[in-house]
Amino acid sequence: MVADLEEKTDRYGELLADALEEASIAPPDGTPMAEAAEECYEMAASYLEDGRHFREEGDRVNALASFSYGHAWLDAGARVGLFDVPTEGHLFTV
């Protein structure tokens, strides 16, 4: 059964918010990799805020897209070692 757009948007928004709380920058401070991690984290946080704005405006499609893009930044960063993330659970695909 296809998930309802409203339910899916809310679920992905919560997923991104939870993932942001769990992710921490892995590389040592002052290194190029730490700078890259900070940029990826900032992008994910910006997409979360954008998604919340779109959701408040009733634009569920762009909200869902924003939440999805934001999570992709975190998930990709976790895969390449920019973030320490939990390996159990549903937040990341590591």
Q: pLDDT tens, position by position, for the chain (94 residues)?
A: 356 999 999 999 999 999 999 999 999 999 999 999 999 999 999 999 999 999 999 999 999 999 999 999 999 999 999 999 998 888 988 7
Supply the pLDDT for residue 87. Answer: 87
Supply the pLDDT for residue 2. Answer: 52
Q: Which residues contact 34 (CB under 8 A, 6 or more apart)?
A: 25, 27, 28
Distances (CA, A) of 43 to 40, 80, 89: 5, 16, 23
Can you read off the two tokens belonging to residue 69? 């893009």
Supply the pLDDT for residue 3. Answer: 67
Supply the pLDDT for residue 1. Answer: 38
* Stated pTM of the model: 0.90
